Chain A
Amino acid sequence: NAGVTQTPKFQVLKTGQSMTLQCAQDMNHNSMYWYRQDPGMGLRLIYYSASEGTTDKGEVPNGYNVSRLNKREFSLRLESAAPSQTSVYFCASTYPLGGGPRYNEQFFGPGTRLTVL
């Protein structure tokens, strides 16, 4: 049981390049999330998918797109990277809403460290 996995672990891009961050979970969770974490700031929600087939914008969606490929996988795409997108990106998944013994606990992946030059 690997939990939440993310690829790649590190990436350096030039301004204007595109890339896709991959995330997968093997816990049969319905909801998945993408966050970014910047120094001195809390985790900020970029996009989330409450269930397979749905996606919604979070607090900071500009410059990103997402795809919920299936129940396991949720990808984040940067179409034209900018230096302001230099950050650490975390994917997370959540125990099904509305029930379960862990009160919607989130499980996080190890993160992708992205630098845009």
Chain B
Amino acid sequence: KNQVEQSPQSLIILEGKNCTLQCNYTVSPFSNLRWYKQDTGRGPVSLTIMTFSENTKSNGRYTATLDADTKQSSLHITASQLSDSASYICVVRVSGGGADGLTFGKGTHLIIQP
């Protein structure tokens, strides 16, 4: 069964510090992996999307890495800001899976404290 596991479940850090969120998946065959940010009371918004051949992609202070061999991804947040407080969701698409070929992780709840 295709699964996406995220860790930690929740994380509290001080403003200005860096942090790294983890995503491990068993989805096969792999097509692409996305990280979403979901603010409280809002819908998820895409941060990065990576295919098999991409091992690093940045979006401002967010840097995602992908190791397709070990089926692991990470999202690194640099110099955190209060506005980074949100849930971060890892989503993996299966190759050839059609319109429903997505597996969602449960998310990491990140709190940035001043």
Chain A residues proximal to chain B, CB less than 8 Å: 4, 31, 33, 40-45, 48-50, 56, 58, 90, 92, 94, 97, 102-111
Across chains A and B, the number of contacting residue pairs, with CB separation under 8 Å, is 58
B41 touching A111 by the CB < 8 A rule?
A: yes
From the candidates A42, A102, A109, name the one contacting B43 in the complex (CB within 8 A): A109
A42 touching B45 by the CB < 8 A rule?
A: no
Task: Classify the interface of chain B: helix, strand, loop or mixed.
Answer: strand
- Which residues does chain A contribute within 8 Å of B100, judged by CB atoms? 45, 48, 56, 58
Chain B residues proximal to chain A, CB less than 8 Å: 4, 32, 34, 41-46, 49, 51, 89, 93, 98-100, 102-107
From the candidates B4, B34, B89, B99, name the one contacting A56 in the complex (CB within 8 A): B99
Closest residue of chain A to B33 (Cβ to Cβ) is: A103
Closest residue of chain B to A110 (Cβ to Cβ) is: B43
> What is the bound-complex CA distance between A56 and B106, given in angstroms?
24
A43 touching B104 by the CB < 8 A rule?
A: yes
- Which residues does chain A contribute within 8 Å of B42, judged by CB atoms? 110-111
A105 touching B99 by the CB < 8 A rule?
A: no
Residue of B49, B51, B99 with most partner-chain A CB within 10 A: B99
B102 touching A45 by the CB < 8 A rule?
A: yes
- Which residues does chain A contribute within 8 Å of B102, judged by CB atoms? 45, 106
